Amino acid sequence: MTAVQPATATAPGKIILFGEHAVVHGQPAIAVPLAAVQVTASVEPGPPGHGTIVYAPDAGKTLTLREDAGTSGDPLYDAVGYPIEVTRRALGISLPDMTITLRSTIPIASGLGSGAALATAISRAFAEAVGHPLSNDALNPLVYEVEKRHHGTPSGIDNTVIVYEQPVFFVRGAPIETFAIARPFTLLVADSGQPSPTHITVGDVRALYEANPARVGLVFATIGSLVNTARQAIESGTIEILGTLMDKNHALLRHLTVSSDALDDMCIAAKRAGAWGAKLSGGGRGGNIIALVAPERSAAVSEALRAAGAVSVIETTVQ
């Protein structure tokens, strides 16, 4: 039986600044970690015969894992069981005697990377507890494997930014590129409170593309060139330009049918209250928008976002 040591790992949420959806089709995207929310996984050894038990106090659930996690139909079981199965297989061990306690402050299905963060924290803590700590390069493909099970055809951006905990300029299949942020900037992340599973919007955008590859392909390419301009602006510290680029990216996401009235209303409210720009972030049709603000406008924009229906607003500095 595998010896188990106590171990704890955390993983942050993430926000996509530019390029969601087009990134699935080969265009670049920019994402940053969101440290204000995170998942923590803590492993404690259990007595012989205890099995692998997952305790999720926030969900009020205790689960006993099977050797082959498979798909159970219980979302929590699938979300925690599969990362453990993938990690255990990669390490060539069977299920050890342990209790894994999970805590998360990342809202589910809202575009903040809750699934990838959960898988990252679990795999990291599990591997460390059994004496085989994983490097980021080793962990990233495991979390991508989990993302594929849950999201169909993910680009890999979520797992990459969350595993490496650094801003990334991401192109599907290309080596990971991080980049420098010349001047910190402030974002508000406003949650519509409407969960929206990413695989549905990704599937709808694919269908749209297949029905009209020329027109939709042009939208993807326009988003891609905007992402390149945004990277230059971030690297040179010309932050004010980013607001205009966010507005343009949001308009293009509307063309891709992944916005919603609630998301549009929040973007409009943020701009009226003085934000430099605003856009949906992530899969869309629900989840979050992000608004770029001068720090002194943050409180006013935050209030306007709540008045427009945001159930929570997180302020974060990208640096």
Residues that bind ligand PMV (CB under 6 A): 16, 20-21, 23-24, 111, 113, 154-155, 157-158, 198, 202, 282-283, 287
State in angstroms the smallest separation of the CB of 29 from ligand PMV. 7
State in angstroms the smallest separation of the CB of 158 from ligand PMV. 5
Instruction: Give 8 or 257: the residue with its C-beta nearer to ligand PMV.
Output: 257
Distances (CA, A) of 198 to 24, 51, 101, 153, 155: 12, 33, 26, 10, 11
State in angstroms the smallest separation of the CB of 170 from ligand PMV. 8
Tokens (6 digits) for 16: 């996509």
Alpha-carbon distance of 279 to 253, in angstroms, equals: 9
Instruction: Give 154 or 243: the residue with its C-beta nearer to ligand PMV.
Output: 154
Instruction: Give 217 or 274: the residue with its C-beta nearer to ligand PMV.
Output: 217
Which uninterrupted H or E stretch holds 121? helix 114-129
- Selection from 6, 187, 7, 13 nearest residue 104 by Cα: 13
State in angstroms the smallest separation of the CB of 300 from ligand PMV. 27
State in angstroms the smallest separation of the CB of 272 from ligand PMV. 26
- Selection from 5, 31, 226, 225 nearest residue 111 by Cα: 31
State in angstroms the smallest separation of the CB of 114 from ligand PMV. 8
Instruction: Give 33 or 113: the residue with its C-beta nearer to ligand PMV.
Output: 113
Instruction: Give 16 or 171: the residue with its C-beta nearer to ligand PMV.
Output: 16
Instruction: Give 127 or 292: the residue with its C-beta nearer to ligand PMV.
Output: 292
Contact 46, 162 (CB under 8 A): no
Tokens (6 digits) for 262: 């609630």
Alpha-carbon distance of 23 to 42, in angstroms, equals: 33
Contact 133, 93 (CB under 8 A): no
Nearest residue to the partner ligand PMV, using Cβ? 282
